[in-house]
């Protein structure tokens, strides 16, 4: 497939070529084949060369995609309103995973200051040195911010994760006439990357409902890495609850489906997608290290992994319903509709976040925790029964 996409700079192309060599060496060291999850791990996170660990701009108009915090500060304002309401049940601290440019953290902290809520610490777990540098610049006015390079052993407070789960490596599985196979990555005679199928371990398809009934040729993703993240989250929160007696609430926002929709018979080619300079395409072998590679989230598997680690399922709903219940409408009305020059851009941004035709329905919110509950109004639009 020939893609007509913007050309990278010479330096970027050289970095991509170096990453290709690293991946090819890895494949050769593993008898000519690696699982797709291992390939995805390398293209996203290989030290100094991966998409998230290298130096390329990822977010905003100069990057490859735009996230909700980049669209409007009202998104972070709504998260802050939610956090402030939850904190009487938790410690007064926030932990954010994958903070991007730091804009969500800045907007949350700015709104908390306006509310008169003082938090002890805003910790960010960030694996990208380039993004951490941007975050430090964005958040230089907030001394309560600290950075971590891994999960803390324990935590009590509010956890935020916006578009974190979709950036975790996935395994690919395909149904063939001979049963399920794992689709991994090998090398072509010319040295390029190609898909190759190998026998599939039974554990990889346990989260796929009615796997035996899906048709031959059915290709999809499974999410053991993201499920492992949820179990680590549960262990961290459980430890914090044991130590402090205080609760925790984790709010995870991403695009995805419950399992019965994710593994629908008509979703024959899965959800794997790549993003390069605001172009979406399906080829994960295009310019490794210079493009994002993502898959939708199986929220049933995430909720199950959280439950397995001792967390409570507190809610599951659309982004639109969550933001409206969190008060984004009231935040918008701080600007008078009569002030059209200021109000209309903000209203348009909120519309993008909550419209079913935009991000409002595609993005879902999974809320899990321990020793805490959501305000009653969040039950009005709860879809936990669909998980």
Residue 375 pLDDT > 80, yes or no? yes
Residue 110 pLDDT > 90, yes or no? yes
Residue 279 pLDDT > 90, yes or no? no
Q: Token pair 């999960």 is at which residue?
A: 151
Query: Region 268-277: what's the mean pLDDT?
Result: 94
Query: Region 226-241: what's the mean pLDDT?
Result: 97
Query: Region 189-217: what's the mean pLDDT?
Result: 94
pLDDT of amino acid 60: 46
248 confidence band (pLDDT: 50, 70, 90): very high
- The length of the chain in residues reads 387
Domain 32-53+66-171+223-255+291-386 has CATH 3.40.640.10: no
Which of 78-82, 274-278, 280-284 has the highest mean predicted lDDT (pLDDT)? Answer: 78-82
pLDDT of amino acid 66: 80
Report CA 177 to chain centroid distance, whole Å.
34
Q: What is the chain's mean pLDDT, rounded?
A: 94
Query: Region 266-281: what's the mean pLDDT?
Result: 92
- Separation between Cα atoms, residue 191 and residue 193, nearest integer Å: 7
pLDDT of amino acid 1: 52
pLDDT of amino acid 2: 56
Query: Region 22-51: what's the mean pLDDT?
Result: 96
> Which one has a higher pLDDT value, 267 or 54?
267
Each residue's pLDDT tens digit, 290-307: 999 999 999 999 999 999
Each residue's pLDDT tens digit, 45-101: 999 899 988 765 544 444 456 899 999 999 999 999 999 999 999 999 999 998 989
3 confidence band (pLDDT: 50, 70, 90): low
Q: Token pair 């371990």 is at which residue?
A: 201
pLDDT of amino acid 59: 46
Residue 318 pLDDT > 80, yes or no? yes
User: Considering only 16-20, 55-59, 178-182, 347-351, which range has the smallest mean pLDDT?
Assistant: 55-59
Percent of the chain with pLDDT over 70: 96
Query: Region 159-179: what's the mean pLDDT?
Result: 96
Residue 352 pLDDT > 60, yes or no? yes
pLDDT of amino acid 25: 97
pLDDT of amino acid 298: 98
């Amino acid at each position: 497939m020939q893609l007509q996409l913007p050309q990278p700079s010479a330096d970027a192309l050289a970095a991509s070529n170096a990453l290709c060599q690293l991946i090819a060496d890895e494949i050769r060291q593993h008898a000519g084949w690696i699982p797709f999850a291992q390939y995805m791990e390398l293209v996203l996170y290989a030290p100094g060369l991966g998409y998230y660990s290298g130096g390329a701009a990822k977010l905003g108009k100069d990057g490859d995609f735009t996230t909700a915090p980049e669209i409007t500060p009202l998104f972070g304002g709504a998260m802050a309103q939610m956090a402030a309401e939850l904190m009487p049940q938790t410690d007064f601290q926030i932990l954010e995973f994958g903070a991007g440019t730091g804009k969500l953290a800045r907007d949350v902290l700015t709104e908390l200051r306006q509310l008169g809520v003082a938090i002890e610490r805003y910790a960010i777990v960030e694996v990208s040195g380039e993004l951490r540098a941007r975050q430090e610049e964005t958040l230089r006015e907030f001394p309560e911010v600290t950075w971590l390079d891994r999960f803390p052993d324990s935590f009590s407070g509010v956890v935020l994760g916006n578009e974190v789960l979709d950036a975790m490596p996935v395994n690919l599985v395909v149904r063939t006439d001979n049963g399920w196979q794992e689709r991994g990555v090998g090398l072509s005679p010319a040295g390029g990357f190609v898909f190759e199928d190998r026998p599939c371990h039974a554990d990889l398809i346990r989260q796929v409902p009615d796997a035996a009934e899906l048709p031959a040729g059915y290709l999809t993703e499974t999410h053991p890495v993201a499920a492992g993240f949820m179990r680590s989250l549960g262990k961290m929160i459980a430890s914090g609850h044991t130590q402090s007696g205080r609760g925790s609430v984790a709010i995870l926002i991403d695009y995805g489906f419950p399992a019965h929709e994710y593994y629908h018979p008509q979703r024959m080619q899965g959800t794997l997608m790549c993003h390069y300079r605001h172009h979406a395409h399906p080829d994960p072998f295009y310019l490794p290290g210079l493009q994002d590679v993502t898959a939708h989230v199986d929220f049933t598997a995430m909720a199950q992994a959280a439950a397995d680690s001792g967390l409570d399922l507190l809610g599951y709903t659309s982004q639109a319903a969550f933001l409206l219940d969190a008060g984004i409408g009231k935040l918008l009305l701080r600007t008078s509709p009569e002030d059209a020059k200021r109000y209309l851009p903000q209203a348009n941004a909120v519309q993008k976040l909550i419209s079913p035709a935009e991000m409002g329905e595609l993005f879902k919110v999974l809320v899990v925790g321990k020793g805490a509950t959501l305000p009653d109004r969040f039950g009005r639009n709860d879809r936990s029964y669909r998980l």
